[in-house]
């Protein structure tokens, strides 16, 4: 594992025990940074009266930002995590999608791919991953630098990108779930072997132990549609998702992948997080440690069932209970007044368009990706002997290099606008010339690897299957996410002004007394820092 200069830790300890009196630390000994994949801000209101656990505690005792938004498109997991931790938009941190087309390599690249690292804990080539393509430092990086790596920084997620982008470049490790071994792995970017406690955790077969029994949904279902609705995907190729959920059957059908799609995926993450705290003694050092957890399961479930299913209510109520137990564990292990918790999401989600039509909104539709591109091809056919497009991804059209001319881009724009789902089209050259919201979202989300023509579908229209849902747009259903701070030096308040996700990292820099991430552009959130000011002025008077 990463080298830890011992003298730094001793120096901090000596400073904090001066003249026999322990001076209370102004910074927390542990930051628990939570990201819930695909959590819409609205879910807090929808389920608030049913929360009795950790979410209720954060909502009652923390600072709650009710209007936190992403400031770019596409609103996907990779860019979301990168923006939370770097405090800036994709145009600066470089993670412009989960995948994007790279003209110099003439292929799609994945946001955390790295052909030069080896998987650790697995031989799965899909685990050759690192933060290579992340162009900015993260607040977790700046903490590691400030303490000469004396801080312990660990990130866990079921998705590789959900662990790696929070961990940044300098962390002790990012650990992600590997379907083949049904446990957590890392890569040679972070370590040459798994810590023995994690190898032991994997060897206990935690997935097989969790995927047992029949499960009824939690909640009163007042806000959900009928179970096994027409708008839901089948679970692991089995029949419709109906309760009780037969976990052993789901596991038998989906093998290692199955746990991602049921609430037990969150339980697995809480279990490994507790093990990390215990074995690495997180939060019990003089300097600040970090545990970054990204819960991917709500995203897999949302993609399968949409935003209104009983499964959504169930997974958030279970998350609330498990978070409650986890915070109670932290109270005992780290001390109630020593830790800080943040919670946000990497993006929201659209409602299923078929379900919107059933509710009475006629202008909503899911469009098949391949059909969409076929209609673009057809619209361009009269003007071009060959199809001038290399690829279409992230709502962007990449034109063949010999066709990168303004008159061609205009023709593509006209062709796209002839599609009934398309609302707006912008060429890359015009992105910087407008302060219009629709344009600046795209400007913030693009760099030299982006496409030549950008299009926005109408709200309620998706390039996706008829069942389940997705995200990626600049509409509020995708950009609006929860943002909560709770714990050391944080006061209880509700904030309704609009803030941006990129404001989180600069706020962390002030809370932890460290440099801002290298490319950060966000503004620190004064409502969170208020509590810190109160504590320091009290100290001065003493």
Of 364, 375, 363, nearest to 231 (Cα)?
Answer: 364
Minimum CB–partner distance for residue 295 and Zn ion (Å): 12
Q: If DSSP codes are grouped into helix, strand and coil, which group holds residue 412?
A: helix
Q: Whose Cβ is closer to Zn ion: residue 468's or residue 531's?
A: 468
**Could you tell me how far CA 179 lies from the centroid of its own chain?**
19
Binding range to Zn ion, per CB under 5 A, among 232-240, 297-305, 361-369, 437-445: 297-305
Minimum CB–partner distance for residue 367 and Zn ion (Å): 18
Q: Whose Cβ is closer to Zn ion: residue 169's or residue 471's?
A: 471
Binding range to Zn ion, per CB under 5 A, among 102-110, 205-213, 298-306, 393-401: 298-306
Q: Judging by beta carbons within 10 Å of its beta carbon (0-12, 13-18, 19+), is residue 333 exposed, middle or buried?
A: middle
Contact yes or no for 136/518 (Cβ under 8 A): yes
Q: Whose Cβ is closer to Zn ion: residue 94's or residue 302's?
A: 302
Binding range to Zn ion, per CB under 5 A, among 82-90, 155-163, 295-303, 407-415: 295-303
Tell me if residue 77 is catalytic.
yes
Minimum CB–partner distance for residue 468 and Zn ion (Å): 10
395 binds Zn ion (CB under 5 A): no
Look up tokens 């997180």; give the residue: 282
Of 74, 91, 72, 90, nearest to 82 (Cα)?
Answer: 90
CA distance 297 to 158: 8
Minimum CB–partner distance for residue 501 and Zn ion (Å): 16
Minimum CB–partner distance for residue 319 and Zn ion (Å): 16
Tell me phi and psi for residue 455, to 5 degrees. -130, 150
CA distance 157 to 141: 18
Beta strands in 303-437 (DSSP E): 339-344, 365-367, 389-393, 396-399, 422-427
DSSP secondary-structure letter at 498? Answer: E
Q: Whose Cβ is closer to Zn ion: residue 326's or residue 477's?
A: 477
Would you give the binding string for Zn ion spanning residues 252-291, x where CB under 5 A is met?
A: ----------------------------------------
Q: At what angle do helices 526-541 and 504-512 cross, to 10 degrees?
A: 10
Residue of 142, 179, 299, 311 interacting with Zn ion (CB under 5 A): 299
Q: Whose Cβ is closer to Zn ion: residue 76's or residue 139's?
A: 76
Query: Looking at 63, 75, 77, 86, which residue is catalytic?
Result: 77
Look up tokens 């400031």; give the residue: 71
- Count of CB atoms situated within 10 Å of the CB of 275: 19
Q: Whose Cβ is closer to Zn ion: residue 89's or residue 299's?
A: 299
Binding range to Zn ion, per CB under 5 A, among 28-36, 121-129, 299-307, 318-326: 299-307
Binding range to Zn ion, per CB under 5 A, among 47-55, 203-211, 296-304, 307-315: 296-304
Number of residues that bind Zn ion (CB under 5 A): 1
Minimum CB–partner distance for residue 301 and Zn ion (Å): 10
CA distance 205 to 186: 18
Contact residues toward Zn ion (CB under 5 A) are: 299
List, by residue number, the catalytic residues: 77
């Amino acid at each position: 594992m990463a080298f830890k200069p011992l003298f730094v830790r001793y120096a901090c300890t000596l400073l904090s025990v001066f003249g026999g009196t322990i001076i209370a630390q102004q910074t927390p000994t542990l930051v628990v940074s939570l990201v819930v994949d695909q959590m819409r801000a609205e879910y807090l209101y929808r389920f608030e009266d049913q929360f009795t656990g950790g979410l209720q505690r954060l909502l009652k005792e923390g600072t709650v930002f009710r209007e936190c938004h992403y400031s770019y498109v596409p609103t996907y997991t990779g860019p979301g995590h990168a923006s939370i931790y770097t405090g800036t938009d994709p145009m600066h941190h470089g993670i412009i999608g989960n995948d994007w087309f790279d003209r110099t390599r003439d292929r799609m690249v994945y946001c955390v791919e790295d052909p030069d690292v080896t998987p650790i804990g697995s031989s799965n080539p899909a685990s050759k991953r690192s933060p290579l393509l992340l162009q900015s430092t993260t607040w977790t990086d700046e903490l590691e630098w400030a303490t000469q790596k004396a801080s312990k920084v660990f990130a866990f997620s079921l998705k590789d990108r959900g662990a790696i982008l929070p961990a940044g470049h300098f962390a002790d490790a990012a650990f992600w779930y590997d379907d083949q071994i049904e446990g957590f792995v890392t890569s040679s970017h972070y370590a040459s072997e798994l810590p023995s406690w994690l190898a032991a955790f994997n060897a206990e077969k935690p997935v097989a132990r969790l995927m047992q029994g029949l499960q009824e949904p939690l909640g009163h279902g007042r806000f959900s549609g009928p179970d096994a609705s027409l708008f839901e995907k089948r679970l692991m190729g089995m029949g419709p998702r109906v309760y009780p959920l037969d976990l052993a059957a789901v596991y038998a059908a989906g093998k290692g992948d199955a746990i991602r799609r049921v609430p037990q995926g969150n339980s697995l993450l809480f279990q490994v997080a507790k093990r990390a705290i215990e074995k690495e003694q997180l939060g019990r050092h003089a300097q600040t440690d970090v545990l970054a957890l990204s819960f991917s399961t709500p995203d897999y479930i949302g993609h399968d069932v949409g935003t209104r299913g009983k499964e959504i209510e169930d997974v958030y109520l279970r998350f609330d209970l498990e978070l409650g137990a986890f915070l109670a564990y932290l109270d005992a292990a780290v001390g109630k007044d020593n830790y800080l918790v943040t919670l946000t999401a990497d993006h929201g989600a659209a409602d299923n368009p078929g379900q919107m039509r059933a509710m009475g909104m006629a202008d909503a539709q899911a469009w098949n990706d391949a059909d969409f591109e076929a209609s673009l091809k057809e619209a361009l056919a009269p003007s071009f002997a060959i199809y001038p497009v290399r690829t279409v991804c992230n709502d962007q059209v990449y034109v063949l290099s010999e066709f990168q001319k303004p008159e061609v881009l205009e023709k593509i724009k006209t062709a796209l606008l002839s599609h009934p789902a398309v609302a707006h089209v912008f060429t890359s050259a015009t992105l910087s010339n407008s302060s219009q919201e629709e344009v600046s979202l795209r400007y913030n989300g693009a760099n030299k690897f982006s496409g030549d023509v950008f299009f926005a579908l109408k709200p309620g229209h998706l390039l996706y299957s008829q069942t389940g849902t997705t995200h990626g747009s600049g509409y509020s259903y995708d950009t609006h996410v929860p943002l909560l701070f709770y714990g050391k030096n944080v006061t209880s308040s509700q904030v309704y002004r609009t803030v941006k996700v990129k404001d989180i990292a600069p706020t962390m820099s002030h809370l932890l007394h460290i440099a801002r991430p290298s490319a950060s552009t966000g503004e620190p959130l004064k409502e969170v820092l208020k509590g810190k000011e109160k504590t320091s002025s009290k100290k001065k008077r003493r």
